[in-house]
Amino acid sequence: MCAPLLSVAIWFGLGAGAWAQQVYFGAAGGTNLTSNFPTTDIFTPADAFGNPANRFQYLTGPRSPIFGALVEGRLSERFSIEANALLRPMRNTIVYTEFLANGSSRATTNQYTAVRAWEFPVMLKYTLPPARSDGRLRPFLEAGPSFRTEEDARAVEPSPFGVSAGIGVAFRLGRIRIAPMVRYTRWEHESIYPRYATKPDQIEFLTSIAYQTDSGSRRLAGRKLEIGAVAGYPFTSGFRPSEVEGAIVERMRYLAGLTMEMRLTGRISVESDAIYKPLRAGSDTPNVQTPFSVLTWQFPVLAKCRWTRHGWTPFVEGGPSFRTAGNLNGYNPSHYGITAAAGIEMRAHGIRLSPALRYTRWATDALPYPVPPGVHFDYSRTNANALELVAGVSF
């Protein structure tokens, strides 16, 4: 599986320098126009051992609500880059029919959410000449890569990469922009039998509502905000080291997300991050270990102190970190920790690059089930010590 949010963070960061004048923030929502899953219909006749004939139907479920956030930076009058984070629950219906010997039949229908997928399209947009003389109605075209990850998956594993293209029209009312669009995504092939594949060709109808801001207006309580992306590599394993050699086969590590910093004084600021960090284990080699993931989201809130030097600025930072998790697979990562970091900042053309070495000590993992009062049991299955190389790009 590729690193979806890492790529989003890189695109976000590369475009930051050109976003110095106009940035859009907002929300997007809609629904799919194509089915979530292809139809599977299998009929098995009665056999000589007395088993009745049966029919298994795996059907696509109702349309999926799609909703999330967007950020867009203008590169020029015609070109811009838009990044979305969209949650899309994908539902299906399973019908099992048993044909009894007396000629009657008995059907069982089960409808449920097969997977909650997160989609991260990163689109290069081209705005066409205005469709109205007042310039309020602006059609546009868009295209770019889309990345996908999942949580609470049930017998499905959506492919992580696709290519998207769309067409829409934006209506501007002051600083507010409303933009309905139709977007097509071709997801890469899923070869995961006996799991169920999602439909690779997806068409979605989306509408976004965004607010346009200038760089100078990004202020909170009169203090300037710097916004950007963060990505990095964890040096330590995500799972607790085991005494059994090879008990956990860990897969590729990465982390990525968004960062925001508010300057309090010339040297002191507060940084808050929203970081996606999947803990991934398993092997593609048969009979070794079935791949699985524990998806975590980290929210460090750090006080930062810096010392100005010519051309570069060293800094230290520290504070609490909070964590939530999904797709637990029997794990229950702790929700609280303490973080400390040291790094340097470099600025050029309005862009700030800040690599840092960051350490977090997490509390003991919580038990996934209730225990009688007075019973103490160490259920730690994730690594309490996390050492990470983190690089932020902001403006």
- Which tens digits make up the pLDDT trace of 119-144? 989 899 999 988 777 778 999 999 99
What is the gyration radius of the CA atoms in the chain, in angstroms? 25
Domain boundary among 197, 213, 229: 213
Q: And the tokens for 257?
A: 């997300």
Question: Same domain, yes or no, for 141 and 224?
Answer: no
Q: Is 2 part of a structural domain of the chain? A: no
Q: Give the model's pLDDT for residue 139.
A: 95
Instruction: Give the integer Cα–Cα distance in Å for 139 and 204.
Output: 17
Assess if residue 5 is contained within a domain. Answer: no
Residues 29 and 178 occupy one common structural domain: yes
177 shares its domain with 228: no
Q: Is position 16 within any domain?
A: no
Token duo for residue 12: 């976000």
Structural domain total, the chain: 2
Residue 52: count of CB within 10 angstroms of its CB: 15
The amino acid sitting at 226 is E
pLDDT score recorded for residue 245 = 46
Residues 6 or more apart whose CB falls under 8 angstroms from that of 314 comprise 306, 307, 342, 343, 344, 345
Which pair of structure tokens corresponds to residue 222?
């009169």
Phi then psi dihedrals of residue 216, to 5 deg: -70, -15
Same domain as 200, residue 132: yes
**pLDDT at 1 (0 to 100):** 38
pLDDT at 94: 85
CA dist., res. 244 & res. 250, Å (int): 14
CA distances (Å), 6 to each of 11, 14, 204, 254, 257, in order? 9, 12, 24, 7, 8
Is residue 332 within 8 Å of 325, Cβ to Cβ?
A: yes
Same-domain status, 223 and 207:
no
Helices (H), the chain: 4-16
159: domain range? 22-213
Model pTM score: 0.65
Same domain? 56 vs 193: yes
Q: Are 60 and 93 in contact (CB under 8 A)?
A: yes
Ranges of residues in the chain with a pLDDT under 50 are 1-20, 243-245
pLDDT tens-digit series, residues 297-334: 899 999 999 987 777 899 999 999 999 887 777 788 99
DSSP 187-218: EPP---TTSBPPPSEEEEEEEEEEEEE-GGG-
pLDDT value of position 372: 63
pLDDT of residue 249: 80
φ/ψ (deg, to 5) at 221: 55, 35
Q: Enumerate the β-bridge partners of residue 166.
A: 142, 183
Residue that terminates a domain, selected from 181, 213, 245: 213
Kindly state whether residue 4 falls inside one of the protein's structural domains.
no
Taking the C-alpha atoms of residue 219 and residue 210, their distance in angstroms, rounded to an integer, is: 17
What SS3 class is residue 19? helix
294 and 258 share a domain? yes
Single-letter residue type at 385: N
Distance CA 213, CA 227 (A): 13
In 3-state terms, what secondary structure has residue 368? coil
38 and 159 together in one domain: yes
Rounded to 10 degrees, the C-alpha dihedral 196/198/199/200 comes to -120
